[in-house]
Amino acid sequence: MVAENKPSVIDDMPAKYHDKWNKLSEARKTQIIAESNFYPVDTSYQINNFWATRDLRDKQMISEKLNENSTAVGGEVKNQYAISAEQRADIISKMKFSLNR
């Protein structure tokens, strides 16, 4: 039985990524190898693209979710267009008058 001559993500890694790869922790290396299972890496172009799109920092950036419904101080968001019930009733009566209803 002859083994396939399929390119390997690690063995065919472009030379410019070797130094960064060697500095990574084993956990991060394992994570990148696992990521490669979800990408087509059958040609050298695909392998180059895979490595060009990897974040080769040992510690990943953690992003926080942005809640646009809160203010910077954590207070309530005030509706600048809020009107009182009296103002609302006045507007409705004026609209009814304008529309002859």
Which token pair is 95? Answer: 């609209």
SS3 15: helix
Residues 6 or more apart whose CB falls under 8 angstroms from that of 50 comprise 9, 36, 39, 41
3-state secondary structure of 88: helix
Query: Is residue 45 classed as helix, strand or coil in its secondary structure?
Result: helix
- Provide the mean pLDDT of the chain: 82
Determine the pLDDT at residue 71.
Answer: 63
pLDDT the model gives residue 4:
53
Task: Return the beta strands (E) in 13-101 as ranges.
Answer: none
- Is the model's pLDDT at 72 over the cut of 80? no
- pLDDT at site 46: 92
Q: At which residue do the structure tokens 């019930």 appear?
A: 85
* Stretch 44-49: mean pLDDT: 92
Q: Is the pLDDT of residue 82 over 90?
A: no
| 0.75 exceeded by pTM | no
